[in-house]
Chain A
Amino acid sequence: MDPNFKLFDTCDLDTQGLIAALNATTDAFYVSGAGLGLRIETAGCGGLTRKEPPERETTAGKRKASDEEEEEEEERLNKKMFRNQYDTDVTTWSPTGRLFQVEYAMEAVKQGSAAIGLRSRSHVVLACVNKAQSELSSHQKKIFKVDDHIGVAIAGLTADGRVLSRYMRSEAINHSFTYESPLPVGRLVVHLADKAQVCTQRSWKRPYGVGLLVGGLDESGAHLYYNCPSGNYFEYQAFAIGSRSQAAKTYLERRFESFADSSREDLIKDAILAVRETLQGETLKSSLCTVSVLGVGEPFHFLDQETIQNVIDTFEKVADEEEGEGEAEPAAPAEEGGDGTGDQDVAPMET
């Protein structure tokens, strides 16, 4: 590499693989992290040179699971998003009809730790992985009560999530005040989506960098919605967002048809099992996840650690008894961040 190079783009904040160290006086640079690649254009005296990133060490090699669906996820993660001329402003269209800033905002959601939601006819369960910045700090709050009948789980920039939760709470309170009845979830998600859309069409704003799993109960039953930074929202029987959510989604895809008629206890168990899928071999402990429930006759509340641990014990014991399955291996107690190298590069503002 030309020692007099001038770096064209310092950081691609949209890709997870960032240049961890760049030494201007030497040739050396390396890319760390899972998944996404980087193409660096450097210019120096003598012209433009292009350097492809060296063979990347992905976490695929480290994973024990050889599930083909997870390899597909690898492919999806490996899809490269390169910087281009059309991605500086949210108000700039690309020639192919894309708004890159909005897509980059959706990438931010993938950086956050996993959040999972599932629903039956009468209940909605929201669960998330507790990720702490360091051993010294407490973990980020990712599930919020919006009203007795609505809860929200977030993934991505928690600050944005907190602000949106406050907005949702005030919407719910105002609706209650005016109409003396609880805000229907469907209305709330539309408000949220419209609010998100505004940020995709103002040059002085940026899209919210948070995905929201909104679970709630109204006259037509239990609902689960996903609101993304683009301003779109979809209704789901079950969904997972955040990092390694594909593993949870795979699990949920196998089981979702039974959710509608599931009992409350089965739904909770499925949620915790889905959380376990995202942990990729790390031992599942009640301290690692937060679970919340709401349903008919049951206002939104969090499950306490003991209850969660009891549920974990029921299936961990079963898994222990099944030899040769090779699925759950609660061997050595896992440490935070010991399973994915990519997590260590996550910016402090993100969950």
Chain B
Amino acid sequence: MTKQHANWSPYDNNGGTCVAIAGSDYCVIAADTRMSTGYSILTRDYSKIHKLADKAVLSSSGFQADVKALQKVLKSRHLVYQHQHNKQMSCPAMAQLLSNTLYFKRFFPYYAFNVLSGLDEQGKGCVFTYDAVGSYEKVGYSAQGSGSTLIMPFLDNQLKSPSPLLLPAQDAITPLSEPEAVDLVKTVFASATERDIYTGDKLEIMILKADGIRTEVMDLRKD
């Protein structure tokens, strides 16, 4: 007699892929705009990128209802921080806050696969990649979501950070220029769209620099 399992799940996966690359003075964040459930498409025009602070942008794939709730919580906490400190949160600070917020729900997690990126206190690009319960790491580039398994190996090939075993410790920041990084992202998404059914429709790219944020949109295959 096997145990009866629930035929109702509190979670759903809305698919999609998010990628971020850190540069020396910029940061590129990209995500597709397809939102799906099962084998159906819910919408072709949903943004998975959300600005949390002047220098911190969150991009999440997974269960978008949880993602929305997570964004709201972070936004409120950021307001409280601003009232108390009279300034915006830095990206590393937001990274820690996100980790704590995720772990807070360790036993009923946010079904969100996050990539937080922005500029650190020195103005250099930084990317933080997370799992669903808040384990995070500062990296030079990352991909999360349904297409991540297709994208990550290719980014490794192109941007592989020097081994952490090498001394002296080297930065994970890519030496690529901003236009090169944007090109790389477009290439990588175009390829992932070919084989991942949950990725496609449009690609939204946000480029964060010290003087502001720029957004680009590119079409992807719609099948």
Contacts of A177 in B (CB 8 A): 72-73, 76
A149: shortest Cβ distance to chain B, in Å? 13
Main secondary structure of the interface of A (DSSP, over half): helix
The answer to whether A145 touches B83 (Cβ under 8 A) is yes
Contacts of A191 in B (CB 8 A): none
Contacts of A169 in B (CB 8 A): 79-80, 83
A19 at the interface (CB under 8 A from B): no
Interface string of A171-182 (1 = CB under 8 A from B): 001101100000
Q: How far is the CA of A279 from the CA of B73 in the complex (A)?
A: 45
Q: How far is the CA of A169 from the CA of B80 in the complex (A)?
A: 8
Q: How far is the CA of A173 from the CA of B79 in the complex (A)?
A: 8
Most B Cβ at <10 Å: residue of A145, A166, A173, A176: A173
Q: How far is the CA of A286 from the CA of B76 in the complex (A)?
A: 34
B109: shortest Cβ distance to chain A, in Å? 20
Interface string of A140-184 (1 = CB under 8 A from B): 000001000000000000000000001001100110110000000
B100: shortest Cβ distance to chain A, in Å? 18
List chain A positions with a Cβ less than 8 A from chain B. Answer: 145, 166, 169-170, 173-174, 176-177
A206: shortest Cβ distance to chain B, in Å? 26
A51: shortest Cβ distance to chain B, in Å? 51
The answer to whether B83 touches A176 (Cβ under 8 A) is no
Further contacts, 12 of them, CB under 8 A, given A169-B80, A173-B80, A177-B76: A145-B83, A166-B83, A169-B79, A169-B83, A170-B80, A173-B76, A173-B79, A174-B76, A176-B76, A176-B79, A177-B72, A177-B73
Q: How far is the CA of A170 from the CA of B83 in the complex (A)?
A: 10
Contacts of B73 in A (CB 8 A): 177
Contacts of B72 in A (CB 8 A): 177
Contacts of B79 in A (CB 8 A): 169, 173, 176
Q: How far is the CA of A267 from the CA of B80 in the complex (A)?
A: 30
Which residue of the partner chain B has the closest CB to A180?
B72
Contacts of A170 in B (CB 8 A): 80
Q: How far is the CA of A173 from the CA of B76 in the complex (A)?
A: 6
Which residue of the partner chain B has the closest CB to A174?
B76
Contacts of A173 in B (CB 8 A): 76, 79-80
Interface string of B10-32 (1 = CB under 8 A from A): 00000000000000000000000
Q: How far is the CA of A96 from the CA of B90 in the complex (A)?
A: 58
Closest 7 interchain pairs by CB? A173-B76, A177-B76, A169-B83, A173-B79, A177-B72, A173-B80, A176-B76
Q: How far is the CA of A166 from the CA of B72 in the complex (A)?
A: 20
Which residue of the partner chain A has the closest CB to B86?
A145
* Pairs A–B under 8 Å by Cβ, sample size 15: A145-B83, A166-B83, A169-B79, A169-B80, A169-B83, A170-B80, A173-B76, A173-B79, A173-B80, A174-B76, A176-B76, A176-B79, A177-B72, A177-B73, A177-B76
Q: How far is the CA of A169 from the CA of B82 in the complex (A)?
A: 11
- Chain B residues 46 to 94 lying within 8 A of chain A, measured CB to CB, are 72-73, 76, 79-80, 83
Q: How far is the CA of A174 from the CA of B80 in the complex (A)?
A: 11
Which residue of the partner chain B has the closest CB to A177?
B76
Q: How far is the CA of A220 from the CA of B76 in the complex (A)?
A: 25
B58: shortest Cβ distance to chain A, in Å? 17
Which residue of the partner chain B has the closest CB to A169?
B83
Q: How far is the CA of A143 from the CA of B109 in the complex (A)?
A: 40
Which residue of the partner chain B has the closest CB to A148?
B79
A298: shortest Cβ distance to chain B, in Å? 18
Q: How far is the CA of A170 from the CA of B84 in the complex (A)?
A: 12
Q: How far is the CA of A173 from the CA of B83 in the complex (A)?
A: 11
Q: How far is the CA of A145 from the CA of B83 in the complex (A)?
A: 8
Q: How far is the CA of A170 from the CA of B76 in the complex (A)?
A: 9
A57: shortest Cβ distance to chain B, in Å? 43
Contacts of A145 in B (CB 8 A): 83
Which residue of the partner chain B has the closest CB to A147?
B79
Which residue of the partner chain A has the closest CB to B78?
A173
Contacts of A176 in B (CB 8 A): 76, 79
Q: How far is the CA of A93 from the CA of B206 in the complex (A)?
A: 65
Contacts of A166 in B (CB 8 A): 83
Contacts of B83 in A (CB 8 A): 145, 166, 169
Interface string of B110-133 (1 = CB under 8 A from A): 000000000000000000000000
Q: How far is the CA of A114 from the CA of B79 in the complex (A)?
A: 29
- Chain B residues 172 to 204 lying within 8 A of chain A, measured CB to CB, are none
Q: How far is the CA of A169 from the CA of B81 in the complex (A)?
A: 11
